[in-house]
């Protein structure tokens, strides 16, 4: 049996009691003792004494009679609200009517209790203390947030704090500069409606910070003048002293200019990629145009209606195929689909397989294998297309005498997995994009350097050495990573890991083994 707690260690409640009736003072003190409330009561009777007592910072509860000589409870309430606005004020009187009671509550009284119902006074005190404690915690949390934000006021990043309903409560000077709205204009407004952006990514961010306490990624937002901005956004969940979510801290870095430069760089790379495919594309277009030219010559001769119909159908099919090829190439060069969005990877793999089939030598066998029911990812379609193109061109160059090029996509669950080149273990749910070849392979002494910028094993003029470093950079921007497996004379496999949309960092080793084995649908491109 535990020993009784030493009373000297118990919290002493400090009460200021404004009362001119000695008997009522004694009764209240007795009720407090009966309730087991250890307290220290300071009694005052006049306005002067009450005003002097309000100068103490130790007062935790004020109990006041309404009718006093030359003084009343409403005047006492006004004095208390001016000097100790956060201290609970309870009117305890036998003369206050309903109208005065309502008036006192409007002026800031915490509660009122009639002396004919004294037992309710103890409940009112306890309730007032609970309310004051909650308000104190909320105010402390708000002050803490503001203090932290004040330290970041000089930062170049846009920093905002929102409540759990996305209403803006703090907006730093850099946010004013970047977005064009002043703090006074945005306070109380919903950030998701004010700054707009991709609804899918916003939902992903809100869900991520609610479930995991943090989220980071790229968001497209809008300035006051309508200008589009690309923001590198980091969200953190703020909690009160008891661990309850109370607000969100959002730090946004304007990367619009950097993204424009990256887009130009990737467009140049795409042009280089098209240049690398030019021979195969020219050959395929020639195959498309030759039947059309031949058909024109035949139609100039006298032929039957049935023969003419067959020739026209053949010419129409060839023309349609030529149009599809040109559209595919133009879309790729222009960078269609440049915004990050929730997307499926099956169209990405299939399109890359068709492009390789159209442009790579016929000595290469192209195969695409996609697991059924793959989850969505959040990605930039053009950048991921660039990743696959770079890897496929490298695979083609590794098989000058022919071979097999395999593209695949499968799901993988990782648990504390130490990826190549990473310093910390990785856990989570990923979609893996793989490009494999049966080519010459990579020597072990070279394998550790292939992702370094400008490192290449190709002859002068045949490679810049930035293709694989670009692949790694794009994977990291998608919160993923790249791994490579290679054996000299047997081929190479590159795996690009991209997180599943909305995935949590939960791993199941058995599911991981099953996902890595794969039992997916195979698509063979002839």
Instruction: Verify that 307 and 344 share a domain, yes or no.
Output: no
Residues 50 and 136 in one domain: yes
Which residues share a beta bridge with 158?
A: 252
Kindly give the interhelix angle for 73-83 and 98-106, rounded to the nearest 10 degrees: 10
Judge contact between 442 and 486, C-beta under 8 A: yes
Q: Dump pLDDT digits (tens) for 400-430.
A: 889 999 999 999 998 888 877 677 788 889 9
Please indicate, yes or no, whether residues 53 and 160 belong to a single structural domain of this protein: no
pTM > 0.75 = no
Instruction: Please state, in angstroms and rounded to a whole number, the distance separating the CA atoms of residues 166 and 160.
Output: 10
* Same domain? 445 vs 519: yes
**For the segment 204-234, what is each residue's pLDDT rounded down to a tens digit?**
888 888 888 889 888 889 999 989 998 999 9
411 near 476, Cβ under 8 Å?
A: no
360 and 341, same structural domain? yes
Mean pLDDT for the chain?
79
Q: What is the pLDDT along the chain (526 residues), one digit of tens a residue?
A: 444 444 444 678 888 999 888 888 888 888 888 777 788 888 998 888 999 989 887 888 898 888 887 888 889 999 988 888 888 898 888 777 778 888 888 888 888 888 777 778 888 888 877 877 777 787 787 777 777 656 666 678 899 999 999 999 989 889 999 999 999 999 999 998 899 878 888 888 888 888 888 898 888 899 999 899 989 999 999 988 788 899 999 999 998 888 777 767 666 666 666 665 555 566 556 656 766 766 777 677 767 777 778 778 777 776 776 776 666 566 555 544 456 778 899 988 988 888 788 778 889 999 999 998 899 998 888 788 878 888 988 899 889 889 999 999 999 998 888 877 677 788 889 999 999 999 988 888 777 777 765 445 554 444 444 567 778 888 888 888 999 999 898 999 999 999 998 765 433 333 333 333 333 333 333 3
Could you tell me the residue range of the domain that residue 445 belongs to? 337-525
Residue after which a domain boundary falls, among 300, 315, 336 = 336
Do residue 281 and residue 229 come from a single domain?
no
Rounded to an integer, what is the distance from CA 277 to the centroid of its chain? Answer: 38
Taking residue 336's Cβ as centre, other Cβ atoms within 10 Å add up to: 12
Cα distance between residue 80 and residue 71, in whole Å: 14
Q: Of 143, 195, 193, nearest to 170 (Cα)? A: 143
Domain check: are 239 and 221 in the same one? yes
Domain identity same for 273 and 305? yes
Q: Is residue 149 assigned to a domain?
A: no
Joined together, the tokens standing for residue 86 give: 């956060």
User: Is 152 in contact with 173 (CB distance < 8 Å)?
Assistant: no
18 within a domain of the structure (yes/no): yes
322 falls within a domain: yes
Torsional class of 384: left (φ above 0), alpha (ψ -120 to 50), beta (otherwise): alpha
Strand partners, 168: 162
Residue pair 247/162 in contact (Cβ under 8 Å)? The answer is yes
Contact yes or no for 90/59 (Cβ under 8 A): no
The contacts of residue 260 (CB under 8 Å, 6+ apart) are: none
341: CB partners within 8 A, 6+ apart: 198, 200, 201, 378, 379, 381
Q: How far apart are CA 48 and CA 24, in angstroms?
A: 21
Residue 193 inside a domain? The answer is yes
In a domain, 145, yes or no: no
Domain boundary among 140, 175, 203: 140
**Assigned domain for 431 exists:** yes
* Residues 348 and 483 reside in one and the same domain: yes
**Whether residues 351 and 287 fall in one domain:** no
In this structure, what CATH number is given to the domain that contains residue 460? 3.30.565.10
Give, in degrees to the nearest 5, the angle at Cα 133 between 131 and 139.
105
DSSP structure class, residue 41:
E
CATH assignment at residue 279? 1.10.287
Considering Cα of 249, then 253, then 254, then 255, what sign does the dihedral take?
Answer: negative
CA separation (Å) from 516 to 239, 411, 420, 430? 39, 7, 17, 11
Answer whether residue 345 is part of any domain: yes
Q: Give how many domains the chain has, as a whole number.
A: 4
Backbone angles phi, psi at 411, to 5 degrees: -100, 145
> Among candidates 70, 113, 71, 107, which has minimal Cα distance to 90?
113
Residue 521 lies in a domain: yes
Query: Do residue 128 and residue 236 come from a single domain?
Result: no
Using the Cα atoms of residue 237, residue 242, residue 246 and residue 249 in order, give the sign of their dihedral.
negative
Beta strands 61-64 and 228-239 are unpaired
d(C-alpha 195, C-alpha 174), whole Å: 15
Tokens of 386: 């660039």
Last residue of a domain, one of 254, 286, 317: 254
Q: How far is CA 202 from CA 166, 241, 475, in A?
A: 11, 28, 21
User: Rounded to 5 degrees, what are φ and ψ at 109?
Assistant: -65, 145
Supply the CATH number for residue 208's domain.
Answer: 3.30.450.20
Q: Are residues 98 and 231 in the same domain?
A: no
What one-character-per-residue DSSP string does 447-481 give?
Answer: HTTTTSTT---SPTTS--S-HHHHHHHHHHHTT-E
SS (H, E, C) 176-234: HHHHCCCHHHHCCCEHHHHCCCCHHHHHHHHHHHHHHCEEEEEEEEECCCCCEEEEEEE
């Amino acid at each position: 049996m535990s020993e009784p707690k030493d009373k000297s260690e118990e919290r002493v409640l400090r009460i200021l009691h404004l009362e001119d009736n000695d008997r009522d003072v004694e009764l209240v003190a007795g009720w407090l003792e009966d309730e087991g409330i250890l307290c220290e009561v300071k009694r005052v009777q006049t306005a002067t004494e009450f005003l002097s007592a309000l100068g103490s910072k130790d007062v935790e509860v004020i109990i006041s009679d309404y009718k006093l000589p030359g003084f009343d409870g409403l005047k006492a309430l006004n004095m208390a609200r001016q000097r100790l606005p956060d201290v609970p004020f309870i009117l305890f009187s036998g003369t206050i009517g309903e109208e005065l009671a309502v008036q006192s509550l409007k002026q800031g009284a915490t509660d009122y209790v009639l002396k004919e119902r004294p037992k309710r006074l103890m409940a009112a005190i306890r309730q007032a203390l609970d309310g004051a404690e909650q308000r104190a915690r909320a105010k402390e949390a708000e002050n803490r947030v503001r203090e932290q934000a004040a330290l970041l006021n000089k930062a170049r990043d846009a920093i905002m704090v929102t409540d759990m309903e996305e209403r803006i409560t703090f907006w730093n000077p850099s946010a004013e500069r970047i977005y064009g709205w002043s703090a006074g204009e945005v306070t109380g407004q919903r950030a998701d409606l004010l700054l707009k952006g991709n609804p899918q990514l916003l939902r992903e961010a809100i869900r991520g910070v609610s479930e995991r306490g943090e989220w980071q990624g790229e968001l497209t937002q809008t300035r006051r003048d309508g200008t589009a901005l690309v923001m590198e956004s980091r969200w953190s969940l703020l909690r009160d002293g008891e661990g309850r979510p109370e607000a969100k801290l959002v730090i946004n870095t304007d990367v619009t200019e950097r993204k424009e430069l990256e887009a130009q760089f990737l467009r140049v790379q795409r042009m280089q990629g098209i240049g690398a495919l030019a021979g195969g594309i020219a050959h395929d277009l020639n195959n498309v145009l030759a039947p059309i030219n031949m058909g024109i010559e035949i139609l100039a001769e006298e032929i039957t209606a049935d023969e003419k119909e067959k020739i026209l159908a053949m010419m129409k099919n060839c023309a349609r195929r030529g149009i599809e090829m040109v559209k595919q190439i133009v879309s790729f060069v222009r960078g269609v689909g440049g915004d990050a969005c929730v997307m499926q990877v099956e169209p990405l793999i299939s399109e890359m397989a068709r492009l390789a089939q159209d442009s790579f030598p016929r000595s290469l066998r192209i195969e695409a294998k996609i697991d059924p029911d793959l989850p969505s990812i959040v990605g930039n379609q053009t950048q991921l297309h660039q990743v696959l193109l770079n890897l496929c061109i490298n695979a083609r160059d590794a098989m000058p005498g022919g071979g097999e090029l395999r593209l695949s996509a499968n799901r993988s669950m990782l648990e504390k997995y130490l990826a190549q080149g990473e310093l910390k273990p990785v856990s989570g749910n990923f979609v893996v994009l793989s490009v494999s070849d049966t080519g010459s392979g990579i020597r072990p002494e070279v394998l550790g350097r292939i992702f370094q910028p400008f490192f290449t094993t190709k002859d002068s003029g045949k490679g810049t050495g930035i293709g694989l470093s670009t692949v790694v950079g794009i994977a990291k921007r998608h919160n993923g990573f790249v791994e490579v497996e290679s054996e000299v004379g047997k081929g190479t496999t590159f795996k690009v890991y991209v997180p599943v949309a909305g995935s949590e960092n939960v791993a199941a080793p058995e599911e991981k083994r099953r996902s890595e084995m794969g039992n997916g649908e195979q698509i063979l491109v002839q």
